Amino acid sequence: MDFKRNIIITGGAGFIGSHVVRLFVSKYPDYRIVNVDKLTYAGNLENLRDVEREPNYVFVRADICDYERMSHLMREYRADGVIHLAAESHVDRSIRDPFTFARTNVLGTLALLEAARVYWESCGEGYDGKLFYHISTDEVYGALEMTRPQGIEPPFSTSASSGEHHSAYGEEFFSETTRYNPHSPYSASKASSDHFVRAYHDTYGMPVIVTNCSNNYGPYQFPEKLIPLFINNIRNRKPLPVYGKGENVRDWLYVEDHARAIDTIFHRGKVAETYNIGGFNEWKNIDIVRVLIRTADRLLGNPEGYSDDLITYVSDRKGHDLRYAIDSRKLQRELGWEPSLQFEEGIEKTVRWYLENQAWLENISSGKYQKYCDNAYGKR
């Protein structure tokens, strides 16, 4: 069957990638979606059970660092688009094991870029109709000051639709022109990969787009990250370890809204541009924990305040950035994208999903799923 487009999505078995794959497979039946994923501890094909049999979906287990393999896949699937999400993504792991982050995030991105460049140049049509879309994080920008830290009650959020941008925590935001200033090995590796992607445009004329997004939340996130970890711990009456005093502020976006933004930008974004993606939705970590407790206790039928005593303050993360806040008005203004969900609604959906999908959590946490993948697809 001839497809209108052939798109390689890397990291499609991960948290955000699986939502992007699901959206593209179901919304564009005339596109072939090739999910290229190494299936590390964070990759889980169970995230894609509902689309795995679709005729326009292909899964390939491969390591993006393997240049020969990436070149082969570009040719085999005649890829005209790459949406690159594969990465090592957990800051705490990057502090313990920075080399793995440099390998996958920097060298892996470079291998993929070079494979795309060589293949696209060999097609003899120039770069027409091609796009390398690189997904990155707001953490590359470093940290913002908390200039208004006291005495403001939730919801803390900024106004998306009015075009104005306010925050309960400070006057500054990350814009697309904010200077990079990464502080963790994770953000340093992502910053480096962003620079490589832009350099491929400036040097070879390759059509690229980079987006930098704030913290995502929603179903299918590996339970080492704050929201799924804490929901699971509340359910199992385990401690909720909060770094420092829980004062750090992050902007949160529902993962399906990120996937919609990626769809919009992939189709209508301007080549060589950067777009920031955010939820206009800043929260202190400790306030997120309280919302999670309140929501989970209610859904579990526990009395109000039942899980408050699970909060345990632990030593702060090394180099912990105080505040991230994203200004995504360019994306709103130029491409008309806005977050669709209010935070309360998104959190309710998310807590409910994790509580109702215990088998998913147990399989991924116990490594049972990894064993199944190794049998089905060969060891990494």
Taking the complex as a whole, the smallest distance from the CB of residue 4 to ligand NAD amounts, in Å, to 26
Instruction: Name the CA dihedral angle for 289, 237, 242, 294, rounded to a multiple of 10 degrees.
Output: 10
DSSP E strands in the chain: the ranges are 5-10, 31-37, 57-61, 81-84, 131-137, 208-213, 215-217, 240-243, 249-254, 274-277, 282-284, 311-314
State yes or no: residue 327 binds ligand NAD (CB under 6 A): no
Residues touching ligand NAD, count (CB under 6 A)? 31
The 82-121 contact track toward ligand NAD, x by CB under 6 A, reads ---xxxxx--------------x---x-------------
Active-site residue identified among 127, 141, 186, 369: 186
362 in active site: no
State yes or no: residue 63 binds ligand NAD (CB under 6 A): yes
224 in active site: no
State yes or no: residue 328 binds ligand NAD (CB under 6 A): no
State yes or no: residue 48 binds ligand NAD (CB under 6 A): no
Taking the complex as a whole, the smallest distance from the CB of residue 48 to ligand NAD amounts, in Å, to 10
88 in active site: no
> What residues contact residue 72 under an 8 Å CB cut-off, 6+ apart?
none
Of residues 65, 131, 191, 289, which one binds ligand NAD by CB under 6 A? 65
Q: Label residue 12 exposed, middle or buried (CB < 10 Å: 0-12, 13-18, 19+).
A: buried
Active-site residue identified among 139, 176, 251, 321: 139
Of residues 7, 13, 25, 45, which one binds ligand NAD by CB under 6 A? 13
Q: Label residue 323 exposed, middle or buried (CB < 10 Å: 0-12, 13-18, 19+).
A: buried
Footprint on residues 199-258 left by ligand NAD (CB under 6 A):
213, 215-216, 222
State yes or no: residue 64 binds ligand NAD (CB under 6 A): yes
Question: How many alpha carbons fall within 13 Å on the CB side of residue 197?
Answer: 31
| Phi/psi-derived region of residue 244, left when phi > 0, alpha when psi is between -120 and 50, beta in every other case | left
Q: In whole angstroms, what is the distance from residue 120 CA to residue 128 CA? A: 9
State yes or no: residue 45 binds ligand NAD (CB under 6 A): no
Instruction: Name the CA dihedral angle for 104, 109, 112, 114, rounded to a multiple of 10 degrees.
Output: -130
The smaller minimum CB distance to ligand NAD, of residues 123 and 291, is found at 291
Catalytic residues: 138-139, 186
Where along the sequence are the contacts to ligand NAD (CB under 6 A)? Answer: 10-11, 13-17, 37-40, 42-43, 63-65, 85-89, 104, 108, 135-137, 190, 213, 215-216, 222
